[in-house]
Structure 1
Amino acid sequence: MFTLDSIETFEQEIKKSRFLAVAGPIASEAAAKEFFAAHSDPAANHNCWAWRIGQSYRFNDDGEPSGTAGKPILQALDGQSLDNVAVVVTRWFGGILLGSGGLVRAYGGTAAACLRTASKVPIIATIEAHIACGFGDLALVQARLAARPGVQITAETFDADGAELAVTLPEADAQEIVRMVTDITSGRAVIKLPDKRPS
């Protein structure tokens, strides 16, 4: 699966109607709503949209005949194996009716063309881990984690004994990273992975 690297736009005219697609990465349904609010044109005839995050998805025809706009946009997302992405296709009516089939092709085609030109990045499955270590090991642990691709320190809390780091790890590398932290701290660090006892 892939997501988008940044926001992409694509515009075309079909039988005098102007269609503008805007696609971008999102992390939540709330982010999708914000994206649509930011990229819809209230002066346009229709702002049709779709988004997908994992098994969750929504789409909206915004006044076009049912099934002719939102669903084809969602199918364009799924057809390119995209996840965590929102697309809005705005239409300014040009006076010529397209019919149901024409609308499906126009909305789905505009979304698909936009997504084809967008810069994509693979979605890497990650897990959240917690690493507790003493102050003596902290700088080395932080440096080694920062040097690993895909690893992010998302929070740090301190107490009298040292620090606890909340860390996002690529799932495929989690065990190797745990071994590395254990080795560089000579087993002094306590590492908690999801649904597992401390290691």
Structure 2
Amino acid sequence: MKRKGLLIVLSGPSGVGKGTVRTAIFNKENQEFTYSVSATTRSPRAGEVHGKDYFFETREDFEEMIEKGELLEYAEYVGNYYGTPMNYVEKTLESGKDVFLEIEVQGAIQVREKMPDGVFIFLTPPDLDELESRIVNRGTDSDEVILKRMKKAREELELMKYYDYSVVNDKVDNAVDAIECIIKSEHLRIDRNMDIILEMEDGFEEAMEDKK
């Protein structure tokens, strides 16, 4: 029996380092996750590639995707839309592959409602001063946007209670190790393996019948 893939959702405040941690995970040898690329209406940052980091869409095209119900989740954040194409995620999970989502907090809450059996991990900064320093040092946002992001970060930290795990991103390697341990543990949970267990029980009963 083919086991359905695991949906892993990594989320947290803007500037906490979600992209950096996700990249570090995918750069490791022998990782078997499939990364679900999100769509967004924001402009690409330096080095970002369409179809690899994000699908960069116009606002009109994104709103058409919303109307057609083609998104697993979406949110408008600091003036831009972010969302996850639904069809790709569902097909990949059914094929038995794990899907890794790196998304904003608002979107993660929507995914939780639609796919509650996913694994939801909240990435936190060591403290808010460190978070602000990371956003400022990124050098991609104006002072006005930085203030908006910090205000939003405080609000998002209050939503941590809707997640399964919290991981502090003090050092990227430490965060990666913690996330990998979480995923390994989730794969071993009994409720995720009941179909296989029941199949084994059926096989055992058939074998016993044959011996009678």
* TM-score of Structure 1 vs Structure 2, range by shorter chain: under 0.3
* Greater Rg by CA: 1
Higher helix share: 2
Higher relative contact order (CA 8 A, sep 6+): 2
TM-score, length basis structure 1 = 0.25
TM-score, length basis structure 2 = 0.24
Higher strand share: 1
